[in-house]
């Protein structure tokens, strides 16, 4: 049985910057939406190391680099992939339904 609890519409797929990062918000949460070669992923927009907006960082494939200190994270699971980032970033379960990107909150 499909569990549909906790899913919230975030942004229409057509509003994404293809192959890049798009900023979105859900209530007070600022989020980064990543259009990757293997699908869409979503994280908190603020870097957990220095508080910079990850939407302003360099994005390549599945890796987002913080614009402040160049720490980098894998957007699929949030794990840090280069220093000075050492803690995983917060990522959300993500799906596409009826042309909308949804996250589980």
pLDDT mean over 27-55: 95
Distance CA(45)–CA(11), nearest Å, equals: 14
What is the model's pTM? 0.93
* Superfamily grouping for domain 7-104: Rieske [2Fe-2S] iron-sulphur domain (2.102.10.10)
Domains in the chain: boundaries: 7-104
| The pLDDT value given to residue 64 | 98
- Residue recorded with tokens 């302003």: 56
Residue 2: band (very low, low, confident or very high) from pLDDT cuts 50, 70, 90:
low
Residue 42 has pLDDT above 70, yes or no: yes
């Amino acid at each position: 049985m499909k569990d549909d609890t906790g899913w919230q519409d975030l942004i229409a797929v057509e509003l994404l910057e293809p192959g890049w990062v798009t900023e979105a918000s859900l209530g007070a949460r600022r989020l980064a939406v990543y259009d990757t070669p293997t699908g869409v992923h979503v994280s908190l927009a603020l870097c957990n190391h220095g508080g910079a907006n990850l939407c302003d960082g360099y994005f390549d494939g599945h890796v987002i680099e913080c614009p402040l200190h160049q720490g980098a994270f894998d957007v699929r699971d949030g794990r840090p992939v280069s220093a000075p980032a050492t803690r995983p970033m917060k990522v959300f379960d993500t799906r596409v339904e009826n042309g909308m990107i949804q996250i589980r909150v």
